[in-house]
């Protein structure tokens, strides 16, 4: 699957020290694919950094529409997913395989993919990001109904 023939998107990306190297790699590929990428940090690998400091601004940018989709990376991807989902309007998921990368968007309107920089290799990560970015929400009635329930929950 090649992102090079897909419409360019505004993408946000963020990583702590555990995802820094993978973020650098994905930044180059996203840029080469023609996307406009905003890097929310960290700008250098610092072992004492904290993923919420980078993932929260990314998640807020996704929720506000400043970026269309987000890529959040920490060592395992778990912490990035937990904190991103605390921001209303964000639907983030830890993804380590191809099916969920596109199905999460198609059925659940996933807007932030979370990856484990110490778990997923560069080639697989790029494949997952491409699947995530090229997928579109299906707008089938059952998926819209479920999404409405999630949005209602966020309002409470």
Question: Would you name the residues annotated as active-site residues?
Answer: 74
To which H or E segment does residue 2 belong?
Answer: none
Listing from the earlier edge strand, what are the strands of the sheet with 112-116?
36-39, 10-15, 69-74, 112-116, 92-94
Is the Cβ–Cβ distance between 53 and 27 less than 8 Å? no
Could you give the residue ranges of the DSSP H alpha helices within the chain?
20-32, 52-64, 78-84, 98-108, 122-134, 141-155
């Amino acid at each position: 699957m090649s992102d090079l023939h897909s419409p360019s998107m505004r993408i946000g990306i963020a990583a702590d020290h555990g995802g820094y190297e993978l973020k650098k790699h994905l930044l180059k590929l996203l840029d080469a694919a023609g996307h406009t990428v905003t890097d929310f940090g960290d700008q250098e690998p610092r072992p004492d950094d904290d993923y919420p400091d980078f993932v929260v601004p990314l998640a807020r940018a996704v929720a506000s529409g400043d970026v269309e989709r987000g890529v959040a990376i920490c060592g395992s991807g778990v912490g990035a997913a937990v904190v991103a989902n605390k921001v209303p309007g964000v639907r983030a998921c830890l993804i380590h395989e191809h099916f969920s990368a596109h199905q999460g968007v198609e059925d659940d309107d996933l807007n932030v993919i979370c990856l484990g920089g110490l778990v997923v290799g560069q080639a697989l990560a790029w494949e997952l990001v491409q699947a995530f970015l090229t997928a579109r929400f299906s707008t089938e009635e059952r998926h819209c109904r479920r999404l409405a329930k999630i949005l209602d929950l966020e309002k409470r």
